[in-house]
Structures are given as C-alpha cells and as structure tokens.
Structure 1
Amino acid sequence: MATIDSLTPPPPWTDTDWSAHVREAVIGGRRLRYLDYGDGPPLLLLHGLGCSWQWWLEMIPSLAREHRVIAVDLPGFGRSDALDPPALMNSHAEAMFALADELDLGPLVVAGHSMGGLITLAMAVERPERVRGVVLINAGGVPMTGLRLAIVVGVLRASQRFLAWNPVTRLLVTRTGARRLLLRGALKDPGSMRPELAAEVVPLMASPGFLDAITAASEAVRASRPEDVTCPVLLIWGAADPIVRLASARQMQERLADARLEVIPGIGHTPMVEAPAVTTDHLLSFTRDLDEGPA
C-alpha cells in the first residue's frame, strides 16, 4: 500500500544533479566540501550544528536565480574535514574567509542558521569590509541564561549519541512518524521534512565535529557582542523555536545597530526546512535592498 510520503510530489530540487555543482577546496590542509550554484552577487550559506549544506536544498533553487550560492559543509560536518580542537567559531570564520579568497568572491552576504549564526557574527565583526550583509536564521549568539545554555548543551550532547546509532538513522530516513517523534526539538512539525530531504541530511547528522562544536559554540554565545556588527542584519525567526526563543531574537535586534526581524508564526528552529518559501522571500527581499542601496 502506498504511504502518504510516496504520494507526495517530489520537491523541485530533485530535478537537479547536485553532484555536478559540489566542489572541494583544501583550506589549511583540510578538505572543505561546498556547493557552488547559480550566478549573481555571492551568498554564503552556513548551516547549524550537526547539519550539512543539504539543509538549504529547499531554498537553493530560488536563491540561485539571483545569487551565486555557496553552501558549505562547515569543518567537521557533512563531508568536510574537522578543525583541530577546540574548533572555535573564529576558526570556522577564518576557514570561510579562506574559501571566499579561493573563489575570489569579494564582499559577501552571509546567512547563518543556528551555530552558523555564531560563525556569521564572527565574520561580520572580524572583517567588516568583507561582509556587506548578515542574515541570522534562528541563530546562535542571542542572550541566554547560564542555566538555559547548560540545558541546551546537555540536550545537544545526548542528541549526538542518539543520532550515531544506525537504527535511529534508518528510521529517520524512512519513517515520517520517526521524524515527528525524534526531531521535535529542531522542527515544530518534523513531518514537514520531506523524505527526499531526510535521505540527504540524516545520514550526515552524527558528524565528527559535533561534540567539539558544542563546547566552542557555548563559549561563543557567552562572548557574543552583536553591538560590534556594523552592516545591515536581517533576523528570520520561527516563532515556536524551543531552543532559541523569539524573546531572545528581539533582544538581539535591540543590540544590533541596523537590524530588522521577520517572524514566521507556527515555525520552529529550522525555517529553511519548515517554511522554505517564506524564508526565501524574506532573504531575497533583504538582499535586493542591499543591492539597490539607499533610496
């Protein structure tokens, strides 16, 4: 008997041979895997903890109509080699600048989800002349109490051990019900992750850089200074995020010099999977404004 998953039309991105656009660069003696797709002003996409470049797949075809999209497997994630411990967010940022130099990208718009937001902030603060705009999607770097941060770190460590178990991986790929049960923290409705996307991303989630990145990210959250970001910033937030709550996003907006916040109701921690069309519209509206300049 056919399942609901098997009756759902495949997403548009399944029509593209993505392997033809995946590249590897050697950065600091380590392999860095990335997707290079589309034409236009460069847009660098940085995924979150335990993720890979494929988490952006629902958005990439639309983004690539207006941008050269560089979607990276961050060091230690996906199929990229890991950094040496402690794999600080600043070290990730330097690797991204080295890749940008390798590709001769010039000034960038950088979009970061979750942990990728911490790296995005580090890039904007360390080399403001290289980053012309920042997009933070349910991102790290927002204020958290010590207790809440400790709880989040503990949950992430437990998740990594769980995801490293092969039977769990198989269930997440093949069963919508398993995704609904086990990905509740990352997605308000885990059933919104298509089976095609699950097959791409789930096998890569228990990545070697996961545990080192948890420690480095928690330290970066404590040290984050959004006030030092000088370029325009767009915050896109799923209102129902249980990890980085909307109240924290509003606090970050207040601390940023030039920021606007777009809230997506009923969406959790991962808008690019749960609401890719709305998230894409917000992001492209922001980059068009940057390209057009002041009225």
Structure 2
Amino acid sequence: MTTPPSTAPTDIASPWGGVGRTLDLDGPVHWVDFGGPDTETGATEPAPVALVHGLGGSHLNWVGIAPALAARRRVVAIDLPGFGLTPALGRATSVNHNAALLSRFIHEVLGRPVVLVGNSMGGMVSLLLADRRPEQVAGLALVDPALPNPGARPDPQVAATFAMYAVPRVGELVLTRYNKSVSDRQRVLGTVALCFADPSRADVDVVEAGVELAAWRRSLPDPEGEFLGAARSLLRVLRGRREYDRIMRDLDRPVLLIHGTRDRLVPVSAARRAARLNPAWRTAYLEGMGHTPQLESPEDVLGHLEPWLESLD
C-alpha cells in the first residue's frame, strides 16, 4: 500500500471554519467538521448534514454554504476515496463502493440519521445509499445530481470527454497527457469554466484553495486511475437507468432537488424528468446557474435549502 505525501494541506478549509479530520475506514478518509450550534442540555438536536461532493470535487465544493448551515445544525463534509485529501490507496472508487463507505462514515462519525446534501456524483452516491440504508437518511438535498437524460442531445464537449473516459487505456492516456500539459491553476480554472455558467462568479479564495489541493493530488501515485474508476462507474449507473429510475421513483424520504438551468454536464431537462418520476420531491430551478450553484451562487442555494431543512425538524 502506497503512503500518501505527508504534506497534505489538512487545514485547507480553515478560512471557512472547517476543521480537517481523518478517519480509518480500511485506509484514511479525510473529512471536514464545520461544527454546529451549541445545543442546550435536553434539547432535541436537528438531523446533522453530511455534504457529498461530485466527480473531481472535494470538501471545498461546500465552503460557500457550510458555515451558514452550521449555524443551526452539525455539518460535515467528506472527501470520498480518490478525491480531495482522501487517496484511494487500493480501495475502489466506484459510486457503489463510495456509497458503502459513506454509510460507514455516517455510522462512525455521526451515529444517527443524517440529511445528505449531494452535488453531481455525490447526488448519485446519496441516492444509492438512501435506497440501501434508508434508516440512515432523514432527507436528501440533490444539487445538480448526476441523472440520466434519454433522448436528449448532450453538450458536445461533455459528451466527447466522457466518451474518452469510458474507453480503457485511452482514458488513462489522454487524462495523463492532459494533466502533464497544464498547470494546477489551469486545471482548476478549466473546471470552473465547465461547471459555472458565469466563471467570473468564482470565489478567488476557493480557487486558490483548489489550486493548493490540485498540487497535492498531482503528487499521488495514480490520480488518473482513481478518477476514471469513479467516472466509469457513474456512466454504468446512468446506462442502467431502469434501476436508477426505480430508486428515484420508490424513494420515500423527503427530497429537495435544486438544479441550475444552464448546467452543461446535467441538463435541467434531466432534473425535470427525475422530478416527474417522484412528484413528492420539492424542486427549485435556479435561472442562469451552472453545475455547481452552491459555489456559483451560495445565497440562492441557501434560500431554498435552509427553509427545506427547517421543515424536516
């Protein structure tokens, strides 16, 4: 087993009140504790929130909204194996394996049902967990989750990129060449350009933290393999959409679906389709927002998320 570099920037979320911690789940799992309010003895504590990032993301995806959420309830953010400050170290990085690991994390760290807030791949992981371990889930907030969209024409750049990811050896070769040809800052800004409808909305401090994190991940033995393992598993779930549709249709937990209308990765039509599968879901479509509205416009996301969370208490 390869040991990750000892210089991991574990305090990277400290400007937003986050405290980095590590848990052993068949290998180190990094997570960030954003704290919560002081609760009077005997008072009923609201369900804690567990934030689950998307493909290529990390706990930094949540720093725009986590401090505000922590004013009323315990808030934590996990770095799934293969992402953020959690190297895989031989563990599988598929969405199914990460759903199982998320279940263990909830049991070990929080010990009670949680509200899962998942973006992109993190939304898929959250849905898989809610289907398999519903007793661990008090509710789900899905922020631009990874969803099937049969019959729709995808964004050409996104379609070409994921087609490349899907091919064994080709994905590894192209991704390795790309990572060697660009700087860490270029990689982060490229992700912003893809995930934001308006890249000028990106928070400079979050970008700088992302560059620091990207530099550390570059030092790992096989970051491309870790990423592609997750990407390919996500594509398999989307292709087997009947089972994924069943999970969404049969889900009996409260759900808030938030989706940007200018999301290039998961078009808003996919979100509208998912909402039709389960009319009990509450929906909020954010006009002019991209794939990561919790970073692009945190106030808009909080404007829908906070009242919904209060309705669960």
Q: For the residues of structure 1 that align with 2:124 and 2:191, how far apart are their CA atoms? A: 25
- Show the counterpart of 1:256: 278
Partner of 1:22: 20
- Indicate whether 1:198 and 2:207 are aligned: yes
Q: Secondary structure at the match of 2:193?
A: coil
Distance in 1 between residues matched to 2:238 and 2:175, nearest whole Å = 20
Distance (whole Å) between structure 2 residues aligned to residue 139 and residue 66 of structure 1? 25
Query: Which residues of 2 match residues 12-161 of structure 1 at below 5 A?
Result: 15-16=15-16, 18=18, 21-27=19-25, 29-39=26-36, 40-82=46-88, 84=90, 87-145=93-151, 148=154, 151=160, 153-154=162-163, 160-161=175-176
CA distance in 2, matches of 1:34, 1:85: 17
CA separation in 1, counterparts of 2:164 and 2:297?
24
Identical pairs, percent: 29
By how many angstroms is 1:164 displaced?
2.4
Structure 2 counterpart of 1:235: 257
Structure 1 Cα separation of the partners of residues 55 and 86 of structure 2: 14
The amino acid of 1:274's aligned partner reads E
Once the two structures are TM-superposed, the CA of residue 136 in structure 1 deviates from its matched residue by: 0.8
Following TM superposition, by how much is the alpha carbon of 1:284 offset from its aligned partner in structure 2, in angstroms?
Answer: 1.1
Provide the rounded CA distance (Å) in 1 between the counterparts of 2:177 and 2:207: 16
The offset of 1:38, in angstroms, is 2.1
Q: Distance in 2 between matches of 1:266 and 1:186?
A: 12
Change (3 A) 1:155 1:53: farther
- Secondary structure (helix, strand or coil) at the match of 2:282 reads strand
CA contact (8 A) 1:231 1:258 kept: no
Q: Identify the match of residue 221 of structure 1 among 228, 238, 243.
A: 238
Is the 8 Å Cα contact of residues 162 and 168 (structure 1) preserved in structure 2? no
Task: Give the count of matched residue pairs.
Answer: 270
- Does 2:179 correspond to 1:170? no
Letter in 2 for 1:154: A
Query: For the structure 1 residues 187 and 104, does the alpha-carbon distance in structure 2 shift closer, same or farther, using more than 3 Å as the test?
Result: closer
Root-mean-square deviation over aligned CA pairs: 2.7
Structure 2 residue matching 1:236: 3-state secondary structure: strand
**What is the CA deviation profile of residues 170-203 of structure 1, one whole-angstrom value per residue up to 9, with x for unaligned ones?**
3466xxxxx3x66322111112112210111244
Deviation at 1:168, TM superposition (A): 2.8
Between stretches 118-127 and 152-161, larger displacement belongs to 152-161
Separation of aligned partners in 2, 1:182 and 1:125: 30
Asked whether the 8 Å contact 2:261–2:287 carries over to 1, the reply is: yes
Deviations 1:104-155 (A, max 9, x none): 4311110110111110110111111211111111111333459848545137
Distance verdict in 2 for CA 1:233–1:96, change over 3 Å: same
Q: Can you give the 5+ residue segments of structure 1 that lack an aligned partner in the other structure?
A: 1-12, 174-178
Give the secondary structure class of the aligned counterpart of 1:141.
coil
Does 2:279 correspond to 1:285? no
The 2-side partners of 1:167 and 1:139 are apart by 28
Q: Does the CA contact (< 8 Å) of 1:135 and 1:236 recur in 2?
A: yes
Q: CA–CA distance in 1 between the matches of 2:50 and 2:308?
A: 14
Seen in structure 2, the aligned counterparts of structure 1 residues 250 and 132 have a Cα distance that, compared at 3 Å, is same
Task: State the distance in 2 between where 1:196 and 1:161 align.
Answer: 27
